[in-house]
Chain A
Amino acid sequence: MSAPLLQISNLAGGYPPVSVFHGIDFSIGDHESVGFFGPNGHGKSTLLKTIAGLIDPWDGDIVFDGVQLNAKGRMRARTSRNLNYDLFRRRRMVAQTAVRSGLIYVMQGNLLFPEMTVGEVLEIAPVAAAGRQGVGEMREQIDALFPRLRERWTSKIRYLSGGERQMVSIAVGLLALPRLLMLDEPTLGLSPKLRIELSVAIRKIRQTKVPLIIVDQNIEFLTSLVDRLLLFDHGSITREIAADAMPSHDEVMAMMFGEAS
Chain B
Amino acid sequence: MISADTLAFILMSGILLGGLYALMATGLAIVWTTLGVFNFAHGTLLALGAYVAWQVTQSVSGGLGFLLAVIISMGVMFLVGFLLHYVLIKPFERHENVVLLAVITTLAGASIIENTILLSWGPRDRQISPPISGKIEFFGAAFNTYDFVILGISLLALLALAFFLRHTTRGRSMRAAAQNREAAELMGLNVSLLFALTIGLAAATAALAGIFIGSLRFISPAFGADPLMKSLIVVILGGVARFSSPIYAAFIVGIAESFSAYFLGLYWAPAVLFAMMIAVLLIKPEGLFGHRSKTL
Report which A residues bind B (CB closer than 8 A).
52-54, 83-84, 86-87, 89, 95-96, 99-100, 104-107, 110-116, 120-121, 123-125, 127-130, 172, 176
Contact = CB atoms under 8 A, between A and B. Distances in A.
Given A54-B182, A107-B182, A124 B187 contact: yes
Nearest to B33: A115
A52 B182 CA distance: 11
A124 B185 contact: no
Given A83-B97, A84-B95, A127-B188, A113 B176 contact: yes
A11 B187 CA distance: 24
Contacts of A124: 169, 172-173, 176, 187, 189
Given A86-B96, A113-B175, A116-B179, A54 B186 contact: yes
Contacts of B180: 111-114
B295 A176 contact: no
A127 B187 contact: yes
18 contacts: A54-B182, A89-B94, A95-B186, A95-B188, A99-B188, A107-B182, A111-B180, A111-B183, A113-B180, A113-B183, A114-B295, A116-B176, A123-B169, A124-B172, A124-B176, A127-B188, A129-B188, A176-B187
A125 B292 CA distance: 25
Contact of B183 (A83, A112, A127): A112
A58 B93 CA distance: 20
Contacts of A95: 185-186, 188
Contacts of A106: 186
Nearest to B187: A128
A121 B182 contact: no
Nearest to B93: A87
A113 B94 CA distance: 22
B96 A121 contact: no
A128 to B, nearest CB: 3
B264 to A, nearest CB: 39
Contacts of A111: 180, 183
A100 B186 contact: no
A115 B97 CA distance: 26
Contacts of B96: 83, 86
B189 A104 contact: no
Nearest to A95: B185
Contacts of B188: 95-96, 99-100, 127-130, 176
Nearest to B185: A95
Nearest to B242: A115
A120 B179 contact: no
A241 B96 CA distance: 41
Contacts of B173: 124, 127
A110 B182 CA distance: 10
